[in-house]
Chain A
């Protein structure tokens, strides 16, 4: 059994602390008295995942066994989460592959001829054939690709149907194939508490029309946090949409959770607390640091993005969505939650090389904001780790660097929209619709491998709550011009950043460093 998460106070014997720094890492000495929050060690994985999956399908929660729902002549649609989960991508076999193989085996035994598999990529970019093969495995891929295994197209006018409007006025659309199926099986992988549940279907197979209902500045500012669904307006909207879908289509949910073993053996030092580092870990750190200091960005990117995480399955549940999701969330929180006593004036963390929207691409400045002030800042329940008006210090090189294939609309968002204003509400009111309905972005989303035109707006809105809540944001090591465009301050060193922060929060501030990844969920008391 691994150790639970911990909060360690920095004293004179505390070794320097690891900070992720984009496609690199660095060690920093935190001031004495600072707190470092460490995630729990990885939970032991289930020894026989296939057996656990078969058991879950045979004994679902509040639903009939999957075998009894399958019959010849029916239309079966199996949807599954896209490559934004897990991060980094898993070593093969991916958990989704194991689940899909069991579901498909049952369908074959039942003689269900009409089976389609759909990547629930929503407004994310399409997955390439090789990425799909990695997730579903060779056997599923060669059997179904490409005519029966494909990406969801949220902009296909014929491929989506309008199901109705919720009591709160949220519109609901769904992929036509799923909507016209006798049974939809959703295969999910929950990495953090915001994933899964009703959000899977409502968002994953939805269109701009349904996603825009809850991806708004207002909703996200009232989701405190969206990593804790009971307190998340975003999730409340998803639940209403999901219930409407469940009324229209027969759904069977399969949710899985994995532990936080997210780094391969070669760089396992990133997984460990610095006090646990061995000589080998120190040598590995040294080698990686020198390499990332010297290597050109393309080499670093190739190196980091080739990493595959040896995640282990910790939970698998199947059946009715609410019952399943409750159990899944419990498993995820068991892996992630760390109790933190009280808030802090300054919170620091490094932004790693990878977020949900830049798999096999560079992390552009807008995504740095999304990752730092969106996902990582919101990894709390109860209250944020930093006090209202406090300071967030991020570590990231924050270069003006965009992937023109995956993020074309991000380039224009940065160059045109952020040059005008950084206020999420104003951006939403003035620019969102224009980008969302741009025919060129729509074409790139449908035919190339680009994120939807509206996607940079959502990435920016993710940070709306943090922007409103904190007093200042300082990016250590960032490009000055770029950081200024984002509306933040730039510092060269941690010491400089702390001095700048004192101007906002006063002298002798309390400092807390969140040491992720691996991800943790701070339960602030």
Chain B
């Protein structure tokens, strides 16, 4: 009965704008059944258990299978402030490879945006990957405001966010258009976006394959960028997309990988000069 009541209330709410211009409500979809609260995935002792599971199993396995060659990790070395890690997406192996490529202190504070309609359709699967990879449901259609709000809350709580702004895996390995959500989020939370390009994971586990195969993988991490004053979300997302594309093309322009002086300062021992240094610790829970 309780669920029926909720359904009725929902139907009523949809009809609230009688006599006015009706907004385009999306079709209701069971994207997050039961709206699972995932605070538990980011609280102790789950964090400690995840640390053990990743260190003991998934990281060694991923490194063994892919031997990731990481360039530009310098940009994450002394990064204390929350940031959005925006990467291209070609395979389910991307998340594992990227987590393996991140420095320890960044990985342990990284939440991964996972497609709500894919990973959270089955509650047990949602809970499993929330535990294993520290994911949270990211709606690809509908409920954008809610997702942006919760993502923004995560960033403000000191977590880093790993997102795939293409929205889905590329069918042929080529970069697809970035959705503007990454721009919205960077603007709202006022955090830098780190462009990342991962190459080779389509050989490890292309779309449609369930068993991974060993193959070398390269991860290039670019210089963090922030929206400029007056820059639209869509414009900023396009800029991130261009940087990821250039990283994939092997570009070494200062705009993408930073000038040598910036890279040198980013690696100063003891954080002598860290442009993004602004200490914030993640709070328990969120």
Q: How large is the interface on A (under 10, 10 to 19, 20 to 34, 35 or more residues)?
A: 10 to 19
- Answer yes or no: A144 CB below 8 A from chain B CBs: yes
Are A143 and B252 in contact, with the CB atoms below 8 A? no
A142 at the B interface (CB under 8 A): yes
A276 interface hit (Cβ, 8 Å):
no
Q: Within 8 Å CB of B265, what residues of A? A: 108
Interface residues of B in 67-82 (CB under 8 A from A): 73-74
- A239 partner residues in chain B, CB cutoff 8 A: none
User: Does residue A148 face the partner (Cβ distance < 8 Å to B)?
Assistant: yes
* C-alpha gap A379/B265 in the complex (Å): 44
Q: Is the CB of A142 within 8 A of B74?
A: yes
Across-interface contacts of A44 in B (CB, < 8 A)? none
**Pairwise interchain contact A142-B263, C-beta atoms closer than 8 A:** yes
Decide if B252 touches A113 in the complex (CB within 8 Å).
Answer: no
Q: Bound state CA distance, A148 and B73, in angstroms? A: 18
User: Are A147 and B252 in contact, with the CB atoms below 8 A?
Assistant: yes
CA distance A115 to B259 in the complex (A): 11
Interface 1/0 per residue, A105-142 and B, CB below 8 Å: 10010010101000000000000000000000001001
Contact residues of B between 203 and 230, Cβ < 8 Å to A: none
- Chain B interface main SS type: helix
Task: List chain B residues, Cβ under 8 A from A108.
Answer: 260-261, 264-265
A111 with B263: in contact, given A142-B74, A143-B74, A147-B252 (CB under 8 Å)? no
A7, chain B: closest CB distance, angstroms: 47
The yes or no answer to A104 lying at the interface (CB within 8 A) is yes
Q: What's the Cα separation between A426 and B269 when bound, in Å? A: 57
B54 at the interface (CB under 8 A from A): no
Residue of A nearest to B261 (CB): A108
Partner pick for B261 among A113, A139, A142, A147, CB 8 A cutoff: A113
User: How near does chain B come to A10, taking the closest CB pair, in angstroms?
Assistant: 52
A304, B117: Cα distance in complex, Å: 58
**Residues of B233-264 whose CB lies within 8 A of A:** 252, 259-261, 263-264
Query: Across the interface, which residues of A come within 8 angstroms of B261, CB to CB?
Result: 108, 111, 113
Q: How close is B260's CB to chain A, nearest CB, in angstroms?
A: 5
Which residue of the partner chain B has the closest CB to A144? B260
Q: 0/1 per residue, A310-353, Cβ < 8 Å to B?
A: 00000000000000000000000000000000000000000000
Bound-state Cα–Cα, A148 to B263, Å: 13
Bound CA–CA A180/B56 (angstroms): 53
- Which residues on the B side are within 8 Å of A111 (C-beta)? 261
Q: How far is the CB of A146 from chain B (nearest CB, A)?
A: 8
Q: Is B157 an interface residue (CB 8 A)?
A: no
Q: Chain B residues near A113 (CB, 8 Å)?
A: 259-261
> Any chain A CB within 8 A of the CB of B267?
yes
Contact A148 B267 (CB under 8 A): no
Q: How far is the CA of A104 from the CA of B73 in the complex (A)?
A: 20
In angstroms, Cα B74 to Cα A251, docked, is 31
State in angstroms the CA–CA spacing of A148 and B269 once bound together. 21
CB-based contact B260/A115 at 8 Å: yes
Please give the distance in Å from B272's CB to the nearest CB on chain A.
Answer: 9
Question: With the chains together, A147 CA to B73 CA distance in Å?
Answer: 17
Closest A residue to B273 using CB positions: A108
Chain A residue at smallest Cβ distance from B253? A147
Q: Complex formed: what's the CA distance from A265 to B263 in Å?
A: 37
**In angstroms, how far is the closest chain A Cβ from the Cβ of B156?**
31
Q: State the CA gap A144–B263 with chains docked (Å).
A: 9
Q: How far is the CA of A104 from the CA of B260 in the complex (A)?
A: 10
| Given A108-B265, A142-B267, CB of A148 within 8 Å of CB of B74 | no
Closest to B265 in A: A108
CB distance from B78 to the nearest CB of A (A): 12
Enumerate chain B residues within 8 angstroms of A142, measured Cβ to Cβ.
73-74, 263, 267
B73 cross-chain contacts in A, Cβ below 8 A: 142
B182 to chain A, nearest CB (A): 26
Closest Cβ neighbor of B71 among chain A residues: A142
Residues in chain B near residue A144, CB distance under 8 A: 260
Determine which of B252, B259, B267 lies in contact with A139 in the assembled complex, contact meaning CB atoms within 8 Å: B267
How many angstroms between the C-alpha atoms of A143 and B262 in the bound complex? 9
B224 to chain A minimum Cβ distance, whole angstroms, is 16
Q: How far is the CB of B18 from chain A (nearest CB, A)?
A: 63
Which B residues are in CB contact (< 8 Å) with A115? 260
In whole Å, how far is B174's beta carbon from the nearest beta carbon of chain A?
25
Q: Please determine whether A104 and B252 come into contact, CB atoms closer than 8 angstroms.
A: no
| Chain B 56-99 per-residue mask, 1 if CB under 8 angstroms from chain A, else 0 | 00000000000000000110000000000000000000000000
Which of A104, A111, A142, A148 has the most CB atoms of chain B within a 10 A radius of its CB? A142
A359 CB, nearest partner CB in chain B, Å:
24
A104 in contact with B259 (CB, 8 Å): no
Chain A residues, CB < 8 A from B74: 142-143
A115 to B264, CA, bound (A): 12
Closest chain B residue, CB of each to CB of A112:
B261
Chain A residues whose CB sits within 8 angstroms of the CB of B264 once the complex forms: 104-105, 108, 139, 143
Q: Most chain-A CB neighbours within 10 Å: which of B264, B265, B269? A: B264
Minimum CB–CB distance from A99 to chain B (whole Å) comes to 15
A115 to B260, CA, bound (A): 8
B256 to chain A, nearest CB (A): 12
- Give the CA-CA distance A111 to B265 in the complex, in Å: 12
CA distance in complex: A231, B272 (Å): 49
| CB-CB nearest in chain A for B70 | A142
CB distance from B257 to the nearest CB of A (A): 9
Which residues of A have CB within 8 Å of B269? Answer: 139
Would you give the shortest CB distance from B104 to chain A, in whole angstroms?
16
CA of A105 to CA of B259 in the docked complex: distance in angstroms? 14
User: Which residues of the other chain, B, contact A104 by a CB distance below 8 angstroms?
Assistant: 264
Report the bound CA distance from A105 to B269 in whole Å. Answer: 12
List chain B residues, Cβ under 8 A from A143. Answer: 74, 260, 263-264, 267
Give Cα distance in the complex from A148 to B257, angstroms: 13
10 A-B pairs closest in CB distance: A143-B263, A147-B252, A108-B261, A143-B264, A139-B267, A108-B264, A142-B74, A143-B260, A144-B260, A115-B260
Residues of A near any B CB (own CB < 8 A): 104-105, 108, 111, 113, 115, 139, 142-144, 147-148
New contact pairs (4) apart from A105-B264, A113-B259, A142-B267, CB-CB < 8 Å? A108-B261, A143-B264, A144-B260, A148-B260
Contacts A/B (CB < 8 Å), 19 sampled: A104-B264, A105-B264, A108-B260, A108-B261, A108-B265, A113-B259, A113-B260, A115-B260, A139-B267, A142-B73, A142-B74, A142-B263, A143-B74, A143-B263, A143-B264, A143-B267, A144-B260, A147-B252, A148-B260
